[in-house]
Amino acid sequence: MSDIYVMQNANGKTNSPTPAEFDPIRWALLNPWLSEGQPDDRTPMNGSVKDSGGTPSVQRSFARSSHQAMFKKWSQARRD
């Protein structure tokens, strides 16, 4: 007999129990460390980049370098 035949009855249904409905309250009680969330240590800021007055590709390049500089500043401040 194959494994598939052993796991199924004559109607083709498996004998395994049906999974229980997900209960978010029970899950939160059993896993409190997963439902706390993380603190947001990011500084609120305006995400727009000032207009460099160039072509769209120049503006994207300017925005990319500005974002990288801001990330470096944030990263260093976070380490201190």
Please state the pTM of the whole predicted model: 0.38
Q: How many CA atoms lie within 13 A of 43 on its CB side?
A: 9
Please report the pLDDT score of residue 38 as a whole number.
66
Please report the pLDDT score of residue 47 as a whole number.
63
DSSP secondary structure code for residue 32 in this structure:
G
Please identify every stretch of the chain with a pLDDT value under 50, giving residue numbers as ranges: 1
Tokens of 24: 């978010």
Q: How far is CA 31 from the centre of its chain?
A: 18
